Amino acid sequence: MDIEPVRMLTGPGVLRVVWLPGSDQLQGTCHCGAAHVADGPVEVWDWLLAHPVGHGPGRRPDEEEPPTPGRSSPSPVPAFA
Amino acid sequence: MTTIPRDQWYVAAYGREIGHDLFSRTVCGESILFWRTEAGEVTAMSDRCVHRRFPLSQAPSRLVGDAVVCGYHGFTYGADGACVAVPGQTRVPRTARLRSYPVVEQDSFVWVWIGDPARADATRIPRAPWLDSPDYATVSGMEPLAARFGLLVDNLMDLSHETYLHGGYIGTPEVAGTPITTEVDDAAGIVYVSRHMDDAECPPFYANSTGLTGRIARWQDIEYAPPCLYKLHSRIAPVGSLPNPDGTDPDAFHVEVVYAITPETENRTHDFWAVARDFALDDTSVSDFIAEQNRTVVLQDVAALDVLEQVIATEPAGYQELSINIDTGGLAARRMLTAMLQEPATAAAR
Ligand code: FES
Ligand SMILES: [Fe+2]
Ligand SMILES: [Zn+2]
């Protein structure tokens, strides 16, 4: 499903919430690509703000991971709800 | 506890409001005196005389050249706020100086820095270039709001209220019925909310100003730079028309709706509004129509928020609000404002 109407902000640390078409659900996506589907805005922001602990604003998911010893890659993970 | 972030830029006035006269406005609880020097620069300083705190904006206080003379006992201050003369003695006390404020005139607004002057960075003032661009025609105004500024932020971040509060003006069923996408960039200090209605009723506000009738594509893209500047990029076009890949958009009408949300005190707000359009630039009937309509819409919000302020001010503590999907952007804005309160230094350094 295409849930990318338009990407407006282009900074490296953008958090994004898309209202999934045809549903009442919100999908939050971290700047690292990790995503979470929630039933409301309080839950989606709670998840997004808790998630970035351990990785500050950095790369967009399409950018190369620079070598960071001792830390696992914040590569995109599937949504879990 | 305060809800007003300090170490921030706020719009204090339109440039046109300030001439070579004493002008006073309260911003974030501080009474500030403005005037334009003979060279045309806007200057901002405390509106309280250091002697016995008589308001310098109050007659018979007066401007003499580029100095203000207090109307009570004659303390006289220069454009930088330093006292240059006191009555009856030649020695001016060293500490006789009005607090002066960093001030920048830009995009038709007069911005003032509230907080530690050492932290003021004019390059961080958000821009609204349409408001004094020759490619746009702009109407604007300011309404006093007897409500805390956060209520106006909530109001503007969720435009679904247009359907209910502004029906017959800018509201149509599609506004409340169309999902939004929300983005937050903490580093840039922006909350963005996008609602693209691809097949919507044309409300009177746009039908009468653009001449489009029937169904339209109506895009609302909100860009809020907390705490003060709110921009609504509004695109009105025939159904099916899209901007070209190069960014040109010849079939669409573009309206930039700008609000400056400036706390006057904890429970009062200056509600600056401006509407810039890229069509019918020389048609004063369109300007008059948009000005009258937008002011009406703003006053509908003011009436609702004034009531809401009284409700909040008199209710028992602990009321639990309920938020739904339409509140996604408003909650993001609240969070950013709360972070500014907790870490003014960090917010200013960003
Ligand atoms: S209060 Fe201004 S000179 Fe006395
Ligand atoms: Fe409104
Ligand atoms: Zn992440």
- Tell which one of B50, B70, B77 to mutate to probe ligand 1, the residue whose CB is within 8 A of the most ligand atoms: B70
**Interatomic CA distance for residues B29 and B52, integer angstroms:** 19
- Report CA(B156)–ligand 2 centroid distance (Å): 6
* Residue B166 scores a pLDDT above 80: yes
Q: Is residue A52 reached through a cis peptide bond, with omega within 30 degrees of 0 on the bond before it?
A: no
What average pLDDT does this structure show over B242-262?
Answer: 96
B175 touches chain A (CB under 8 A): no
How wide is the angle at C-alpha B153 spanned by C-alphas B227 and B302, nearest 5°? 125
pLDDT digits (tens, 9 = 90+) for B46-83: 999 999 999 999 999 999 999 999 999 999 999 999 99
Give the ligand 1 atom nearest the CA of B61.
2
Choose among A5, A15, A41: nearest Cβ to B325.
A41
What's the confidence (pLDDT) of residue A52?
A: 65
Average pLDDT over residues B161-168: 94
Query: Is B325 in contact with A26 (Cβ distance < 8 A)?
Result: yes
**Quick check: B185 and A9 in contact, CB under 8 A?**
yes
At residue A64, the pLDDT reads 42
Exposure string (b/e) for A39-58, b if CB count within 10 Å is 16 or more? Answer: ebbbbbbebbbebbeebebe
Q: Where are the domains of chain A?
A: 14-55
Per residue in A41-77, pLDDT (tens digit) is 999 999 999 886 656 655 444 444 443 333 333 333 3
What are the pLDDT digits (tens) for B225-249? 999 999 999 999 999 999 999 989 9
Partner-chain contact B184 A41, CB within 8 Å: no
Please state which architecture CATH assigns to domain B8-122: 3-layer Sandwich (2.102)
Between the two ends of chain A, the Cα-to-Cα distance in Å is 17
Fold (topology level) of B129-349: Naphthalene 1,2-dioxygenase Alpha Subunit; Chain A, domain 1 (3.90.380)
Which two tokens mark B148? 């805390």
Are the C-beta atoms of residues B131 and B263 closer than 8 Å to each other? Answer: no
How far away is chain B from the Cα of A34, in angstroms, using its nearest Cα? Answer: 15
Domain boundaries, chain B: 8-122, 129-349
Alpha carbon A74 to its chain's center: 11
